[in-house]
């Protein structure tokens, strides 16, 4: 919910999105919780947001969701939404 960034399921963050700027370098990224051990978040205030939680695809769907199951459809959707072609640094040439 605005003004919070990321992807939310109610009051729990499923995916964090961030941008960092420093020393004339800008970096960005996201963290999609697939099968994360959520108990680690019991020891911190995630993203500095008091009263908000963290969730995962596995928790929300009630079944194990591995990163390997999500990666290909996620990247395909990313390319479609942003009208781009992703190139892996592992691809030759």
The verdict on whether 34 is a catalytic residue reads no
Nearest to 56 by CA among 19, 18, 16: 16
- Please say whether the beta carbons of 26 and 59 come within 8 A: no
Catalytic residue among 15, 34, 35, 47: 47
Secondary structure in 3-state letters for 26-90? EEEEEEECCCCCHHHHHHCCHHHCCCCEECCHHHHHCCCCCHHHHHHHHHHHHHHHHCCCCCCCC
Which residues are catalytically annotated?
47
């Amino acid at each position: 919910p605005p003004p919070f960034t990321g992807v939310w399921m109610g009051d729990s963050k499923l995916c964090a999105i961030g941008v960092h700027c420093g020393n004339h370098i800008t970096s960005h990224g996201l963290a999609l919780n697939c099968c994360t051990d959520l108990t680690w978040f019991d020891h911190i205030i995630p993203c500095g947001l008091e009263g908000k939680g963290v969730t995962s695809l596995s928790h929300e769907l009630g079944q194990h969701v591995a990163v390997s199951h999500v990666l290909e459809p996620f990247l395909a959707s990313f390319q479609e939404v942003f009208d781009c072609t992703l190139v892996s640094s592992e691809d030759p040439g």
